[in-house]
Amino acid sequence: MALPDPITIVPADLRRAVEFREIAGRLREVLGPVALRIDHVGSTAVPGLDAKPVIDIQVSVRSLDPMDPYRRPLELLGYTFRPGNPDRTRRSFRRPTGQRRTDLDARAEGSFDEQLNLLFRDFLRTHSDAACEYAEAKWGLSATCRNDLEGYVQAKAPTVWSLLRRAHAWSQATGWAPGPSDA
C-alpha cells in the first residue's frame, strides 16, 4: 500500500506526553462518560522509544455499536471516521490533514484488543531492553519499507509477536492489570 508520506521514525520526544494530555483533555470534554477510558497507546506512549510522529489514542467505550455516542463528538473535534478499516474490533478515526497526526481507535471496554494494547504499552514502559529492541526493528524497517505501510506492518510482526509473548509471561508473573485511564 503506497503512503502519501514515507514511513519515518523519529527520536523519542518528551513533548509527546504533553501533546497527548492536551488532546485527551479535549476528548474528555466532548466524550464525557461515553469514554470509559482514554489511553495513550503505541510507541509514542513509551518514554524514550523512537517512533513514527503519530500520537495513538485508544478510547474505550461500552460497545462499538451504535457509533453515534462517540462518533458525533469526535467529528465535532475534527476527527474523521475511517470506514474502510477491515479490523472489526475497532472503529478508527484520524485528525484532518494539516493538524498533528493523531490516530484514534475506539475499542470495547474489556475486549482482548483493548487489554492487549495496554499490556504491550506497559510492558515496553517497564522493560527498556524490549523497547530498544522494538525501536531497532522499526528503524531498520522504516528504511527498507519506507513507502510500503503493509510491508512495514508485516515485516514488524515477528518482533511484535516475540515481544507480546514476553509481555504475556511478564503479565502472568506479576499479575499485571491495567492501571487507571490516562485521562
Point out the least confidently predicted range of 1-10, 89-98, 115-124, 169-178.
1-10
Reduced to 3 states (helix: H, G, I; strand: E, B; else coil), residue 131 is helix
| Alpha helix segments (H runs only) across 64-181 | 68-76, 112-126, 128-144, 149-174
From the list 37, 53, 55, the residue with the least C-alpha distance to 45 is 55
Reduced to 3 states (helix: H, G, I; strand: E, B; else coil), residue 1 is coil
pLDDT at 5 over 80: no
**Which CATH number is associated with domain 15-174?**
3.30.460.10
- Note the pLDDT tens digit of each residue in 108-126: 999 999 999 999 999 999 9
First to last CA, the chain: 34
- Note the pLDDT tens digit of each residue in 131-179: 999 999 999 999 999 999 899 999 999 999 999 999 999 999 999 999 9
| Sign of the CA dihedral with 104 first, then 109, 113, and 118 last | positive
pLDDT at 100 over 90: no
C-alpha grid cell for residue 182?
490516562
What is the structure's pLDDT at 1? 40
| Cα–Cα dist 128/124, whole Å | 6
- Note the pLDDT tens digit of each residue in 30-70: 999 999 999 999 999 999 999 999 999 999 999 999 999 99
What is the structure's pLDDT at 84? 81
